Amino acid sequence: MTIARKAFAAFASVMALGAFAAQAETLSLGDFQSTSHIVSVEGTVKWMAAVEEATGGEIAFNHFPSQQAAKSKAQLDAVKSGILDAALLGASYHAETLPLNSIVGLPGYYGSAVQGTKALQAMLKEGPLRDEVLAAGVTPIFGFTLPPYQVLAKERLGPPADWAALDVRTSGATQAMTARDLGAVGISIPGPEVYTAVERGRLDAVLFPLASVLGYKLNEVVSHISVNGSFGGYSFIMVVRTELFDSLDADVQKAMISLGEETALHVAQAQDQSVEALIAQWTAEGIDTYSFTDEELMALTEAMAPVTDDWVTRMGGEQAQGVLATYRSLTSQ
Protein backbone atom coordinates (compact mmCIF):
# COMPACT_ATOMS: atom_id res chain seq x y z
CA MET A 1 0.00 0.00 0.00
CA THR A 2 1.33 3.43 -0.91
CA ILE A 3 1.88 6.17 1.64
CA ALA A 4 -1.04 8.09 0.15
CA ARG A 5 -3.36 5.11 0.48
CA LYS A 6 -2.21 4.44 4.04
CA ALA A 7 -2.88 8.06 4.94
CA PHE A 8 -6.32 7.90 3.36
CA ALA A 9 -7.15 4.65 5.20
CA ALA A 10 -6.06 6.16 8.51
CA PHE A 11 -8.12 9.29 7.82
CA ALA A 12 -11.19 7.19 6.93
CA SER A 13 -10.78 5.15 10.09
CA VAL A 14 -10.60 8.26 12.26
CA MET A 15 -13.65 9.73 10.53
CA ALA A 16 -15.60 6.50 11.11
CA LEU A 17 -14.74 6.51 14.80
CA GLY A 18 -15.73 10.14 15.03
CA ALA A 19 -19.10 9.44 13.40
CA PHE A 20 -19.68 6.52 15.75
CA ALA A 21 -18.82 8.63 18.79
CA ALA A 22 -21.22 11.32 17.61
CA GLN A 23 -24.03 8.77 17.46
CA ALA A 24 -23.28 7.24 20.87
CA GLU A 25 -25.74 7.89 23.71
CA THR A 26 -24.85 7.60 27.38
CA LEU A 27 -28.01 7.29 29.42
CA SER A 28 -28.20 8.14 33.10
CA LEU A 29 -30.17 5.39 34.83
CA GLY A 30 -31.57 5.72 38.35
CA ASP A 31 -32.20 2.84 40.71
CA PHE A 32 -33.13 2.65 44.38
CA GLN A 33 -31.71 -0.85 44.86
CA SER A 34 -28.11 -1.48 45.91
CA THR A 35 -25.81 -3.14 43.40
CA SER A 36 -25.67 -6.26 45.61
CA HIS A 37 -29.44 -6.84 45.53
CA ILE A 38 -30.58 -9.72 43.32
CA VAL A 39 -32.87 -7.34 41.41
CA SER A 40 -29.84 -5.26 40.46
CA VAL A 41 -27.37 -8.09 39.84
CA GLU A 42 -29.69 -10.27 37.77
CA GLY A 43 -31.88 -7.47 36.43
CA THR A 44 -30.74 -3.88 35.98
CA VAL A 45 -26.98 -4.44 35.68
CA LYS A 46 -27.43 -7.48 33.46
CA TRP A 47 -29.74 -5.59 31.10
CA MET A 48 -27.45 -2.56 30.84
CA ALA A 49 -24.48 -4.75 29.95
CA ALA A 50 -26.51 -6.66 27.36
CA VAL A 51 -27.71 -3.45 25.69
CA GLU A 52 -24.21 -1.98 25.58
CA GLU A 53 -22.87 -5.17 23.99
CA ALA A 54 -25.74 -5.56 21.50
CA THR A 55 -25.46 -1.96 20.30
CA GLY A 56 -21.68 -2.03 20.05
CA GLY A 57 -21.44 0.81 22.53
CA GLU A 58 -23.94 3.00 20.70
CA ILE A 59 -25.86 2.95 24.00
CA ALA A 60 -23.97 3.16 27.30
CA PHE A 61 -25.15 3.84 30.83
CA ASN A 62 -24.21 5.83 33.90
CA HIS A 63 -25.82 3.85 36.70
CA PHE A 64 -26.96 5.63 39.87
CA PRO A 65 -28.00 2.86 42.33
CA SER A 66 -29.09 3.16 45.96
CA GLN A 67 -31.07 6.38 45.37
CA GLN A 68 -27.89 8.27 44.44
CA ALA A 69 -29.66 10.44 41.84
CA ALA A 70 -33.21 10.45 43.23
CA LYS A 71 -35.16 8.96 46.12
CA SER A 72 -37.30 5.91 45.38
CA LYS A 73 -40.49 7.98 45.23
CA ALA A 74 -38.86 10.61 42.99
CA GLN A 75 -37.42 8.33 40.30
CA LEU A 76 -40.31 8.85 37.87
CA ASP A 77 -40.26 12.64 38.23
CA ALA A 78 -36.49 12.61 37.73
CA VAL A 79 -36.88 10.84 34.39
CA LYS A 80 -39.76 13.06 33.26
CA SER A 81 -37.84 16.23 34.10
CA GLY A 82 -34.62 15.10 32.42
CA ILE A 83 -32.54 14.67 35.57
CA LEU A 84 -32.39 11.00 34.59
CA ASP A 85 -32.85 9.37 31.20
CA ALA A 86 -34.10 6.06 32.55
CA ALA A 87 -35.00 4.41 35.84
CA LEU A 88 -36.07 1.15 37.40
CA LEU A 89 -39.31 2.17 39.07
CA GLY A 90 -40.94 0.48 42.02
CA ALA A 91 -44.54 0.80 40.78
CA SER A 92 -46.05 1.06 44.26
CA TYR A 93 -44.01 4.22 44.91
CA HIS A 94 -45.91 5.90 42.07
CA ALA A 95 -49.44 4.73 42.79
CA GLU A 96 -50.95 8.17 42.22
CA THR A 97 -49.52 8.35 38.69
CA LEU A 98 -49.69 4.62 37.91
CA PRO A 99 -52.81 3.51 39.83
CA LEU A 100 -53.76 0.56 37.62
CA ASN A 101 -50.26 -0.88 37.93
CA SER A 102 -50.98 -1.34 41.63
CA ILE A 103 -53.00 -4.43 40.67
CA VAL A 104 -49.84 -6.49 41.28
CA GLY A 105 -50.25 -5.71 44.98
CA LEU A 106 -53.52 -7.65 45.19
CA PRO A 107 -53.25 -10.82 47.29
CA GLY A 108 -53.84 -14.32 46.02
CA TYR A 109 -53.12 -14.01 42.30
CA TYR A 110 -49.65 -15.37 41.56
CA GLY A 111 -47.46 -17.94 43.24
CA SER A 112 -43.99 -17.27 41.82
CA ALA A 113 -41.96 -14.42 40.38
CA VAL A 114 -42.03 -16.09 36.96
CA GLN A 115 -45.82 -16.37 36.97
CA GLY A 116 -46.25 -12.76 38.05
CA THR A 117 -43.62 -11.48 35.61
CA LYS A 118 -45.18 -13.18 32.59
CA ALA A 119 -48.52 -11.56 33.42
CA LEU A 120 -46.99 -8.12 33.95
CA GLN A 121 -44.93 -8.27 30.77
CA ALA A 122 -48.02 -9.09 28.73
CA MET A 123 -49.93 -6.18 30.27
CA LEU A 124 -47.09 -3.71 29.67
CA LYS A 125 -47.02 -4.57 25.96
CA GLU A 126 -50.53 -3.29 25.35
CA GLY A 127 -53.54 -2.10 27.30
CA PRO A 128 -54.29 0.23 30.23
CA LEU A 129 -51.15 -0.56 32.28
CA ARG A 130 -48.95 0.43 29.35
CA ASP A 131 -51.12 3.43 28.53
CA GLU A 132 -50.80 5.00 31.97
CA VAL A 133 -47.02 4.57 31.93
CA LEU A 134 -46.86 6.28 28.53
CA ALA A 135 -49.16 9.03 29.82
CA ALA A 136 -46.53 9.76 32.48
CA GLY A 137 -44.06 10.69 29.72
CA VAL A 138 -41.99 7.50 29.88
CA THR A 139 -41.87 4.30 27.84
CA PRO A 140 -41.96 0.92 29.59
CA ILE A 141 -39.09 -1.27 28.39
CA PHE A 142 -39.75 -4.30 30.59
CA GLY A 143 -41.25 -5.20 33.94
CA PHE A 144 -40.96 -7.99 36.47
CA THR A 145 -42.30 -8.92 39.87
CA LEU A 146 -40.87 -10.09 43.15
CA PRO A 147 -42.01 -13.48 44.45
CA PRO A 148 -45.31 -13.18 46.32
CA TYR A 149 -45.09 -11.69 49.80
CA GLN A 150 -44.96 -14.10 52.74
CA VAL A 151 -45.40 -13.49 56.45
CA LEU A 152 -42.44 -13.43 58.83
CA ALA A 153 -43.07 -13.43 62.58
CA LYS A 154 -41.92 -14.63 65.97
CA GLU A 155 -44.96 -16.90 66.17
CA ARG A 156 -46.59 -19.11 63.57
CA LEU A 157 -49.49 -17.26 61.94
CA GLY A 158 -52.20 -19.31 60.29
CA PRO A 159 -55.89 -18.43 59.85
CA PRO A 160 -57.24 -14.87 60.27
CA ALA A 161 -57.92 -15.44 63.97
CA ASP A 162 -54.15 -15.53 64.54
CA TRP A 163 -53.77 -12.05 63.00
CA ALA A 164 -56.23 -10.16 65.17
CA ALA A 165 -54.88 -6.75 66.28
CA LEU A 166 -51.29 -7.54 65.26
CA ASP A 167 -49.04 -4.74 63.99
CA VAL A 168 -47.89 -5.92 60.58
CA ARG A 169 -45.42 -4.22 58.27
CA THR A 170 -47.01 -3.65 54.86
CA SER A 171 -45.94 -2.08 51.58
CA GLY A 172 -48.41 0.26 49.91
CA ALA A 173 -52.11 0.97 50.34
CA THR A 174 -53.29 -2.31 48.81
CA GLN A 175 -51.24 -4.42 51.18
CA ALA A 176 -52.41 -2.29 54.10
CA MET A 177 -55.94 -3.32 53.16
CA THR A 178 -54.80 -6.94 53.04
CA ALA A 179 -53.59 -6.68 56.65
CA ARG A 180 -56.80 -4.90 57.67
CA ASP A 181 -59.03 -7.60 56.19
CA LEU A 182 -57.04 -10.24 58.06
CA GLY A 183 -57.78 -8.35 61.27
CA ALA A 184 -54.33 -6.82 61.67
CA VAL A 185 -53.05 -3.26 61.53
CA GLY A 186 -50.91 -2.43 58.51
CA ILE A 187 -47.89 -0.25 59.29
CA SER A 188 -45.73 1.31 56.58
CA ILE A 189 -42.04 1.16 57.48
CA PRO A 190 -39.12 1.48 55.01
CA GLY A 191 -37.23 -1.75 54.42
CA PRO A 192 -34.01 -0.66 56.17
CA GLU A 193 -35.95 0.12 59.36
CA VAL A 194 -37.88 -3.16 59.57
CA TYR A 195 -35.11 -5.12 61.32
CA THR A 196 -35.01 -2.74 64.28
CA ALA A 197 -38.80 -2.48 64.43
CA VAL A 198 -39.14 -6.26 64.74
CA GLU A 199 -36.23 -6.57 67.14
CA ARG A 200 -37.69 -3.94 69.48
CA GLY A 201 -41.22 -5.34 69.34
CA ARG A 202 -42.74 -2.47 67.39
CA LEU A 203 -43.90 -4.98 64.79
CA ASP A 204 -45.50 -8.36 65.42
CA ALA A 205 -45.09 -9.57 61.86
CA VAL A 206 -43.77 -8.54 58.46
CA LEU A 207 -45.14 -9.07 54.96
CA PHE A 208 -42.06 -9.36 52.77
CA PRO A 209 -40.81 -11.06 49.58
CA LEU A 210 -38.50 -13.90 50.57
CA ALA A 211 -35.90 -13.07 47.91
CA SER A 212 -35.29 -9.77 49.72
CA VAL A 213 -35.20 -11.10 53.29
CA LEU A 214 -31.46 -11.79 53.37
CA GLY A 215 -30.64 -8.29 52.16
CA TYR A 216 -32.30 -6.86 55.28
CA LYS A 217 -31.21 -9.74 57.58
CA LEU A 218 -34.79 -10.26 58.76
CA ASN A 219 -34.10 -13.96 59.23
CA GLU A 220 -32.10 -12.92 62.31
CA VAL A 221 -35.12 -11.45 64.12
CA VAL A 222 -37.95 -13.86 63.23
CA SER A 223 -38.48 -17.53 63.94
CA HIS A 224 -41.38 -18.42 61.61
CA ILE A 225 -41.59 -17.82 57.85
CA SER A 226 -44.44 -18.92 55.57
CA VAL A 227 -43.53 -20.30 52.15
CA ASN A 228 -46.79 -20.84 50.23
CA GLY A 229 -48.84 -17.74 50.98
CA SER A 230 -49.68 -15.01 48.48
CA PHE A 231 -50.11 -11.74 50.35
CA GLY A 232 -49.74 -9.56 47.29
CA GLY A 233 -46.84 -8.76 45.02
CA TYR A 234 -44.49 -6.00 43.97
CA SER A 235 -43.57 -4.89 40.48
CA PHE A 236 -40.63 -3.10 38.92
CA ILE A 237 -40.79 -1.28 35.59
CA MET A 238 -37.75 -0.18 33.59
CA VAL A 239 -38.62 3.05 31.81
CA VAL A 240 -36.92 5.50 29.44
CA ARG A 241 -38.09 9.05 28.86
CA THR A 242 -40.34 8.77 25.81
CA GLU A 243 -38.89 11.77 23.99
CA LEU A 244 -35.45 10.22 24.25
CA PHE A 245 -36.56 6.67 23.44
CA ASP A 246 -38.40 7.82 20.31
CA SER A 247 -35.24 9.56 19.10
CA LEU A 248 -33.20 6.34 19.16
CA ASP A 249 -32.67 4.21 16.06
CA ALA A 250 -35.32 1.55 15.53
CA ASP A 251 -32.70 -1.21 15.87
CA VAL A 252 -31.60 0.20 19.22
CA GLN A 253 -35.19 0.40 20.46
CA LYS A 254 -35.78 -3.18 19.38
CA ALA A 255 -32.62 -4.38 21.13
CA MET A 256 -33.52 -2.62 24.37
CA ILE A 257 -36.99 -4.17 24.42
CA SER A 258 -36.05 -7.69 23.32
CA LEU A 259 -33.17 -7.82 25.81
CA GLY A 260 -35.57 -6.45 28.40
CA GLU A 261 -37.91 -9.37 27.82
CA GLU A 262 -35.04 -11.80 28.33
CA THR A 263 -33.87 -9.97 31.44
CA ALA A 264 -37.35 -9.88 32.98
CA LEU A 265 -37.74 -13.65 32.75
CA HIS A 266 -34.15 -14.20 33.90
CA VAL A 267 -34.41 -12.08 37.05
CA ALA A 268 -37.75 -13.71 37.88
CA GLN A 269 -36.25 -17.19 37.56
CA ALA A 270 -33.20 -16.15 39.59
CA GLN A 271 -35.44 -14.91 42.40
CA ASP A 272 -37.54 -18.08 42.48
CA GLN A 273 -34.39 -20.20 42.59
CA SER A 274 -32.89 -18.06 45.33
CA VAL A 275 -36.03 -18.51 47.44
CA GLU A 276 -35.70 -22.30 47.27
CA ALA A 277 -32.10 -22.08 48.47
CA LEU A 278 -32.96 -19.59 51.21
CA ILE A 279 -35.76 -21.75 52.57
CA ALA A 280 -33.37 -24.69 52.82
CA GLN A 281 -30.80 -22.49 54.56
CA TRP A 282 -33.28 -21.07 57.08
CA THR A 283 -34.69 -24.50 57.84
CA ALA A 284 -31.17 -25.73 58.59
CA GLU A 285 -30.71 -22.73 60.90
CA GLY A 286 -33.75 -23.77 62.93
CA ILE A 287 -36.31 -21.31 61.55
CA ASP A 288 -39.81 -22.74 61.12
CA THR A 289 -40.34 -22.42 57.35
CA TYR A 290 -43.90 -23.64 57.11
CA SER A 291 -46.68 -24.14 54.60
CA PHE A 292 -50.24 -23.10 55.33
CA THR A 293 -52.66 -26.01 55.35
CA ASP A 294 -55.38 -26.15 52.69
CA GLU A 295 -57.91 -25.07 55.32
CA GLU A 296 -55.75 -22.13 56.37
CA LEU A 297 -55.24 -21.03 52.78
CA MET A 298 -58.97 -21.19 52.15
CA ALA A 299 -59.70 -19.07 55.23
CA LEU A 300 -57.00 -16.55 54.34
CA THR A 301 -58.18 -16.29 50.73
CA GLU A 302 -61.76 -15.73 51.82
CA ALA A 303 -60.73 -13.05 54.31
CA MET A 304 -58.61 -11.22 51.73
CA ALA A 305 -61.21 -11.34 48.94
CA PRO A 306 -62.65 -7.87 49.73
CA VAL A 307 -59.27 -6.31 48.92
CA THR A 308 -59.89 -6.93 45.23
CA ASP A 309 -63.40 -5.44 45.41
CA ASP A 310 -62.02 -2.38 47.22
CA TRP A 311 -59.31 -1.99 44.57
CA VAL A 312 -61.84 -2.04 41.72
CA THR A 313 -63.97 0.55 43.52
CA ARG A 314 -60.99 2.82 44.14
CA MET A 315 -59.86 2.52 40.51
CA GLY A 316 -63.29 3.49 39.24
CA GLY A 317 -65.33 0.75 37.68
CA GLU A 318 -65.40 -0.61 34.13
CA GLN A 319 -61.77 -0.14 33.10
CA ALA A 320 -60.55 -1.60 36.38
CA GLN A 321 -62.87 -4.57 35.90
CA GLY A 322 -61.29 -5.17 32.50
CA VAL A 323 -57.77 -4.90 33.88
CA LEU A 324 -58.66 -7.30 36.69
CA ALA A 325 -60.17 -9.82 34.26
CA THR A 326 -57.00 -9.76 32.15
CA TYR A 327 -54.74 -10.06 35.19
CA ARG A 328 -56.78 -12.90 36.64
CA SER A 329 -56.64 -14.76 33.33
CA LEU A 330 -52.90 -14.26 32.86
CA THR A 331 -51.96 -15.26 36.41
CA SER A 332 -54.05 -18.42 36.16
CA GLN A 333 -52.02 -19.72 33.22
Q: pTM here?
A: 0.88
What pLDDT is stored for residue 125 in this prediction?
Answer: 98
Alpha helix stretches (DSSP H) within the chain: 3-23, 38-39, 45-54, 75-81, 113-125, 128-135, 172-181, 191-199, 213-216, 242-247, 250-284, 294-315, 318-331
**Matching CATH topology for 24-145+234-274 and 149-232+275-331?**
yes
Say if residue 112 is exposed, middle or buried (CB neighbours under 10 Å; 0-12, 13-18, 19+). middle
* Topology of the domain covering 24-145+234-274: D-Maltodextrin-Binding Protein; domain 2 (3.40.190)
Indicate the CATH number of 149-232+275-331 among 3.40.50.1820, 1.10.630.10, 3.40.190.170, 3.40.630.10. Answer: 3.40.190.170
What pLDDT is stored for residue 233 in this prediction?
Answer: 94
Average pLDDT for runs of 10 along the chain of length 333: 40 37 80 91 97 96 95 95 97 93 95 97 98 98 97 97 97 90 93 93 96 90 97 96 97 98 98 95 97 97 96 91 97 92
What pLDDT is stored for residue 12 in this prediction?
Answer: 38
What pLDDT is stored for residue 248 in this prediction?
Answer: 97
What are the sequence ranges of the domains in the chain? Answer: 24-145+234-274, 149-232+275-331
CA 89 to chain centre: 7
What pLDDT is stored for residue 114 in this prediction?
Answer: 97
